[in-house]
A and B are shown apart, each in its own frame.
Chain A
C-alpha cells in the first residue's frame, strides 16, 4: 500500500497564483452577472474589469516587494516561477490592459462591447499571459499561450466586420501552426533531456556538452519558429498586418504590446542560455531575424497608404528592434527590452487610440480606407489638439528626443554598443532613420496639407468620450514627460532583471 502523500500547504506557496487567479475570478464573476441579469451596460463591465485589474496590479506590487526581499519565489510544485522577469512582464501586461479596457467606452456603439463575454474573455486572456510569463515549465507556457491566444482570436472576431472574421481565422490558423511547432519543439527537447523545465533542460544540455547538437538544433528551430509567429518576426509575420487591419484599432494597439511582451519573456528564458552557450547557429539565425524584421518591415511600412497598416508594420519593426536584446543577452540589453517596451506601450497605445477615436461606421466620399493618410490631411486646421497629440506620438515613435521612445532606443543601442555588436548598432540607428520617413509622412499630412475629408474635424474625435480622452491624455503625458521617470524606472527594471540572473 502506498504511503499517504502528505504535502504541507505552505510548501505550495499558493500566493504565487494570486495575480493569475484575480482576473480569472473577475471573469467568472462577469459571466455569473451576465447570467443573473442580462442587458447590463458595458460601462459596468468595464469598471468591474478595471477593478479586478487594479487588484491584480496590487497583488503584483506585493510579489514585487517579496521578490526584492527574498529573491525568486517558486510555488505549486516549482511550476510557478516568480522572478524579476515574470513580475516586470506582468506589470506591463496588467498595466497596458488597464489602459486598454476603458477604450471600450466609446461614443458610438460597437458590436463586441455589448456582449459581457467580451470582458470575461479579456480577463481570461490576461490570466493566460500571466501564466505564460510566470513559469519555466514548457507545458504551462503552452497552456498559457493557448488560453490567451484562443481568447484573443475570439476578441478579434467579435468586432463583427468581414475583415475581422478574416483576421481572426487567419490568426487562428497561423496560431494553430505555431502551437504545433511549439509542442513539437518542446517534445524533441523533452526526448533529449527528459525534462520540460527550461532550467533543467539547460542543465542537462550543458552537462553532456551539447552532445546531440543536431537534435538540439531541430528542437530550437521549431521553438524559434513558434515564437517568431507569436512575435511576428519576418518571415513569420505575414498574418500580422491583415490581423491588425481587421481588428479594431484599440485591439490592434493592444496586440502590438501585450502578447509580444509575453512572447519576449518566453524567448528570453529559452534562448538566453543557448546564446550564452555559444550555439553559433542560433546566434546567426537570431541576428538574421533581428536585421530582417527591422529592415524589411520598415520598407513595407514606407509604401503603405493606410495609417493603421503603417502602424502595424512599424510595430513589427519595433518588435525586431527589441528582439536584438535576446540576441545580445547582457543584463543591460534585457533591461533595455523591458524599458523599451514600457515606453513603447505608452506611445503605441496612444497612437492606436488616436485611430480608434476617429473610427467611423461609414466611409466619407473621397476616402479610400478607414484610416487612409488622406483622411488626416490638414488635421491641424480642423482638430488641432488631436493633431498635436498624434504628432507627438509619431515623433516619439520616430525616436526624436526627449520623447519617451528615444530613451528606449538610446539604451537599447547602447547595450548593443557595449557588447561589441557595432554593426548591429549601426543597423538599428539607420533603421530608425528610415522609420523617420513614414512617421514624418503622417505629420506632413496632418500639419502641412489642406483638408480633404471631414472639413469640420468632427470625424477625428467622433468616438471620443471622457474616458478615451483621459487614456490618450495619460499616454501623451507619459510620452512627453518620460525624461522625468526614466531614471527610477530604469533602476527598478535593472535591479529586477539582474536579480533574476538575466
Chain B
C-alpha cells in the first residue's frame, strides 16, 4: 500500500465523494468527518514513512497514459511538497469538522472531498499534464463553492475567479507544450515528465519566453500584483470554508509551482527576472498592506493581509538561495495555518452577527474572552511574532533575500511593520474598549465545534514556531538539492553569481578569518 499511497491519497476522497451521493442528508456530516479523518491519517502515514534524509522524490508511481506523446501518470513527493499534501488533508478535515450550519451540507461535503482530490493531485504530480489536469480541475469545485454558497455578488466573484485563472493557465499550457517540444528536439522523444525536464538545459532567450508563459499561470494563481484583483472578490463572497481552503491551500499552488517549475527549469531566467519580480513582490507587500489598513470589512483585512504575505513568500522564493527558498516553503505552510485560522475566526463572528464590518463590533473581549484569546494568538502569529510559525518563515525568507539586496529587504521589512499596524488596529477596534453595540452584548463565546477546528491550528502555529526542525529539516534537504541543480544548470554568469554553489567551499572561510583577526 505504501507504494501507492499517493494515488490512494488522491483518489480515496474522490471515491468517497461519489459514494457520498448515497448517504442520507442528516448523516452526511459524520460521513464527511470520517472520510476526511481517514484521509488525514493516511497523510500522516505518508509523513511517518517519509525518509527525512532523502532529498529526491519518494513514493514514486508511474503509469503510462499516452506514452507515444510522453504523458504519464507520474507521482512523487519530496520535502518541498510532502508537507503541503499533509496540510491540505489537515485543512479538509478541520474544515469539514468545523463546518457550521450550511444549507445543502451534503453537496458542500462532496464538493470539498473532490477539492481535496485535486489539491493532493497538484502537489503530488510529477508530470506536467497531470499537474495541469489537477490544477484546472481544482477550479471547478471552488467555482461551485463560491457560486452556490457565496454572498450576494457570488456569481460575479466565482466567474471572475474561474476565468482569470483559466486564462492564465492556458498560457502556461502553451509553455508546457513548448517545453515538451524542446525536449523532443533535444532527445528525440516526447516527455512531459518533470524529472526529464530538469535535465534539459535551454538557451537563455528560450528560458525567458518560457518563464514568462509559466509566470502568467502561476502569478495569477498566487495572486501577484497586478493580477490580484480577483482574490478580494473571491474571499469577500466565498463562504467561510471556501475562504479557508482558498487561502490555506489553493493559493499555495502558485507559489509551489514557482519552486517546482520556474526555478529548476529556467534558472537563468529566474536570475534574470529576480529583481523585477522582487519589486513586484515588494509592491504587493506594501501596497496590499496599506489597502488592508483601509478596509472596513474584517474579512477583507484578512484577505489583503493574505496577499501581502504571499508577497514575502515570492520574495523568499526568488532569493534563489537555500535560506530564502526553504523559508518561503515554510512560510507557505505557516501562512496556510494562520490565514486559514483567521478566516475561520472571521467566520465565527459572521455566523453570530451576519456582518463582518468592524464598526459593528467593539469590546468583544469582554463578551467572548476565549474567542478574543484565540484571535489574539493567531493575529500575533500573522504579524510574525517570534516563537510563532510565521516568524520562522518570514525571517528565513528575508534573510535569504538580504543576501541579494539589502534595500529591497528593508522595504519588505517595512511592509511587515505596516502589517503589524493594521492587524493590531483591527484587533483593537473589534476587541477592546466598551461594548457599544447592543447586539454584541449577549454573543455566545466559541462553542465546542469551533474550538475543535481552531485548537489544532493554535497548537501547530506555536509548536512549529518553537521547534520547526521536524518540518524544516526535510524541506532544507530537498531545497539544497534544488539549488545545486539550479546552479549546475545555469549558463549565464548572472545566474552563476546569484545562485550559490553549495559544493564549493563557502564564504565561511572569509568570515572565519575576519573573526580570527578580531580575536
Binding site for B on A (CB under 8 A): 395, 398-402, 406-407, 410-411, 413-414, 417-418, 422, 425-426, 429-430, 432-433, 436-437, 440-441, 443-444, 447-449, 483, 486-487, 490-491, 494
Contact = CB atoms under 8 A, between A and B. Distances in A.
Given A444-B155, A491-B68, A400 B170 contact: no
Contacts of A422: 178
Interface residues of B, number: 34
Contacts of B137: 400-402
Contact of B147 (A402, A406, A444): A444
Contacts of A433: 163, 166-167, 170
Q: Which 7 A-B pairs have the closest CB atoms?
A: A401-B133, A433-B167, A448-B147, A429-B170, A414-B177, A417-B177, A487-B66
A332 B174 CA distance: 16
Nearest to B64: A487
Contact of B174 (A398, A401, A413, A448): A413
Contacts of B132: 401
Interface in B102-139: 129, 132-133, 136-137, 139
B87 to A, nearest CB: 24
A121 B158 CA distance: 47
Contacts of B163: 433, 436-437, 440
B136 A447 contact: no
Given A414-B181, A418-B184, A444 B136 contact: no
B171 interface: yes
Interface string B137-180: 10110011001100000110011001100110011011001101
B465 to A, nearest CB: 39
B15 interface: no
Contacts of B181: 414, 417-418
Contacts of B451: none
Contacts of B144: 447-448
A394 B64 CA distance: 27
A395 B137 CA distance: 10
A426 B213 CA distance: 10
A417 B178 contact: yes
A437 B132 CA distance: 19
Contacts of A410: 129, 173, 177
Interface of B: 64-69, 129, 132-133, 136-137, 139-140, 143-144, 147-148, 154-155, 158-159, 162-163, 166-167, 170-171, 173-174, 177-178, 180-181, 184
A429 B173 contact: yes
B69 A436 contact: no
A436 B162 contact: yes
Contacts of A401: 129, 132-133, 136-137
Contacts of A447: 144, 147-148
Given A398-B166, A401-B136, A436-B166, 6 more contacts: A399-B170, A400-B139, A401-B132, A401-B133, A410-B129, A432-B170
A425 B68 contact: no
A335 to B, nearest CB: 10
Contacts of B136: 400-401
11 contacts: A401-B133, A406-B133, A413-B174, A414-B177, A417-B178, A422-B178, A429-B171, A429-B173, A433-B163, A440-B163, A487-B67
Contacts of A443: 143
Contacts of B166: 398, 433, 436
B69 A490 contact: yes
Contacts of A399: 170
A284 B445 CA distance: 70
Contacts of A418: 181, 184
Contacts of B167: 430, 433, 436
B158 A448 contact: yes
Contact of A487 (B65, B133, B174): B65
Nearest to A487: B66
Contacts of B155: 444, 448-449
Contacts of A411: 69
A395 B140 contact: yes
A444 B69 CA distance: 35
A449 B144 CA distance: 12
A430 B65 contact: no
Contact of B68 (A417, A444, A487): A487
A89 B68 CA distance: 22
A437 B159 contact: yes
A494 B170 contact: no
A320 to B, nearest CB: 17
Contacts of A490: 66, 68-69
Contacts of B143: 440, 443
A400 B68 CA distance: 22
A494 B171 contact: no
Nearest to B164: A433
A447 B154 CA distance: 12
Nearest to A413: B177
A437 B167 CA distance: 10
Nearest to B167: A433
A401 B172 CA distance: 14
A174 to B, nearest CB: 34
A395 B114 CA distance: 16
Nearest to B68: A491
Contacts of A441: 159
B177 A425 contact: yes
Contacts of B174: 413, 417, 425-426, 429
Nearest to A414: B177
Nearest to B171: A429
A45 B418 CA distance: 77
B66 A486 contact: yes
Given A400-B136, A487-B66, A487-B68, A444 B173 contact: no
Nearest to A402: B133
Contacts of A440: 143, 159, 162-163
Contact of A413 (B65, B133, B173, B184): B173
B409 to A, nearest CB: 36
A410 B178 CA distance: 11
Contact of A444 (B66, B158, B170, B184): B158
Contacts of B147: 444, 447-448
A486 B140 contact: no
A436 B174 CA distance: 16
A487 B70 CA distance: 10
A444 B159 contact: yes
A410 B154 CA distance: 31
A486 B71 CA distance: 11
A443 B155 CA distance: 11
Given A417-B178, A436-B166, A448 B133 contact: no
A425 to B, nearest CB: 5
A397 to B, nearest CB: 13
A291 to B, nearest CB: 15
Contacts of B67: 487
Nearest to B162: A440
Contacts of B162: 436, 440
A406 B65 CA distance: 14
Contacts of A398: 166
Contacts of A395: 140
A260 to B, nearest CB: 24
A19 to B, nearest CB: 28
Contacts of B133: 401-402, 406
A186 B502 CA distance: 70
Given A401-B129, A402-B133, A444-B155, A430 B170 contact: yes
Nearest to A426: B174
A417 B143 CA distance: 31
